Amino acid sequence: MSSVSAQSPDGTARGVIVVGAGPVGLTAALALRAYGVPVTVLEAGPEGRQRPGSRAIFTHSQTLQILDRISPGLGAELSRHGVYWNTQRTFYEGREVYAKTYPSPPEGVYPHFTSLPQVRIEAYLQARAVVAGVELVWDQEIAGVSADDAGVTLTTSSGRRWTAEYVVGADGSRSVVRKQVGARMEGGKDDGWYVVVDVDEIEQPTLPRERHFHYAHPAVDGRNVLVVPFAGGYRVDLQLVDGDDPEGLASPDGVRAWLDAVLPPGYADRTSWVSTYQFLQLVAHDFADPSRRVLLVGEAAHLFAPFGARGLNSGVPDAEAAAVAIAAALRATNRAAARTPVEAFALARRSAALFNRDAAGEALAHLRPGPETAAAVRAAAARAPQDAEASAWLEKAPYGPRGVHRAETVYRY
């Protein structure tokens, strides 16, 4: 491995720096360590911070397998602490139009997914990073990035300078790294509003551990509702309709009123997190800077609506691919050879992100249908569950196409 070319005066020169200790940055750091590359993570937040909200819950088995590859046993650890449900049901105006119970996987095989709040996933990743020898430096908010053929200089908001040969930008949706290297986000915003609520499990559970999707739930004036279990509770998404007041429906009284209508008694008292969302559908025009020294991963590079669970589940393969590229670039004997793996990373992961953005877009279009799709949903609901094809379409369409992208598998709840 070559050494850092430009030593900074305050001794903060490193070979590889990851910006951001979110789940994708921590995964990138673990993957780099798996390739024997020393790595430092610079995080804006303070040590021991409590991140607000739970965000991702659904981790696909293929993501668990990647995590096992870069930190043996990590996927199994998440799977053990998460929950899995075999039964999925879909309702239209309160009537069941789809139900399926899958067989449990054989002993030793991961189920298709595990469901665990992101804050807990991050805690496991961070503990592994410490054991793997990742240097974690807190209170380092990156404000400036300059990269050229010689390397990368990062400047924090307090003026500290760090230099590195390669930088992984994993600083999330408002990525400063992305903006500083001139990568533009391309795509759009969906106009629809969603209120997303997590509730803790009650002492004597009455909700089944099943995923339920309701088209036109009769108890909430025909709004769509999704209920997804996770370890310790349930995620409930309410899809607002035109004219709704997102803040009102997300206020303590607003949440209580509609939660009481869609969940059994007791759960509305156990709200642990409430948030309102309009979902962005954006992909960076390039996943690396022009000098191919800074690689963008996770939400620094792409933002998708969560239907289909493509965010973290594609951030993890981004992170692994970035580590593979950097390990190869560090071994290269000249700049031209070092650029090649970074080019390959940028092309492959951008192509995967475009696929995921379009797939999440199809899910959104189904959830906020125009007149034609709305009529198709009504017609399918009238035939389901007896018509198996109509029934399966009603079940699967809210998550977008499954299929396999050449660069990765895509995911669904």
Ligand X SMILES: Cc1cc2nc3c(=O)[nH]c(=O)nc-3n(C[C@H](O)[C@H](O)[C@H](O)COP(=O)(O)OP(=O)(O)OC[C@H]3O[C@@H](n4cnc5c(N)ncnc54)[C@H](O)[C@@H]3O)c2cc1C
Binding residues (CB under 6 A) for ligand X: these are: 19-25, 42-45, 55-58, 118, 140-142, 170-173, 176, 196, 298-299, 306, 309, 311-313, 315
In sequence order, what are the beta bridge partners of 135? 40
The residue among 195 and 329 lying less far from ligand X, judged by its C-beta, is 195
**Minimum distance from residue 164 beta carbon to ligand X (Å):** 14
Nearest Cα to 378, choosing from 390, 389, 363? Answer: 390
The residue among 19 and 164 lying less far from ligand X, judged by its C-beta, is 19
The residue among 383 and 405 lying less far from ligand X, judged by its C-beta, is 405
CA 297, 303, 306, 307 dihedral sign is negative
Taking the mean position of all CA atoms in its chain, how far away is CA 214? Answer: 23
**How many C-beta atoms surround the C-beta of residue 310 within 10 A?**
28
The residue among 24 and 249 lying less far from ligand X, judged by its C-beta, is 24
**Minimum distance from residue 277 beta carbon to ligand X (Å):** 6
Pairing assessment for the beta strands 302-303 and 280-284 based on DSSP bridges: antiparallel
The residue among 125 and 394 lying less far from ligand X, judged by its C-beta, is 125
The residue among 97 and 185 lying less far from ligand X, judged by its C-beta, is 185
**Minimum distance from residue 229 beta carbon to ligand X (Å):** 12
Could you give the residue ranges of the DSSP H alpha helices within 21-99?
Answer: 23-34, 61-70, 74-81
**Minimum distance from residue 197 beta carbon to ligand X (Å):** 10
The residue among 140 and 281 lying less far from ligand X, judged by its C-beta, is 140
Q: In the complex, which residue's CB is closest to ligand X?
A: 22
**Minimum distance from residue 388 beta carbon to ligand X (Å):** 28
Q: What are phi and psi of 281, to 5 degrees?
A: -130, 80
Q: How far apart are CA 315 and CA 312, in angstroms?
A: 5
Q: How far apart are CA 16 and CA 29, in angstroms?
A: 9
**Minimum distance from residue 108 beta carbon to ligand X (Å):** 24
DSSP states of 123-180: HHHHHHHHHTT-EEE-S--EEEEEEETTEEEEEETTS-EEEEEEEEE---TT-HHHHH
**Minimum distance from residue 230 beta carbon to ligand X (Å):** 9
Cβ-count burial 34-69 (b if 16+ within 10 Å, e if not): bbebebbbbbbeeeeeeeeebbbbbbbbbbbebbbe
**Minimum distance from residue 205 beta carbon to ligand X (Å):** 21
The residue among 51 and 95 lying less far from ligand X, judged by its C-beta, is 51
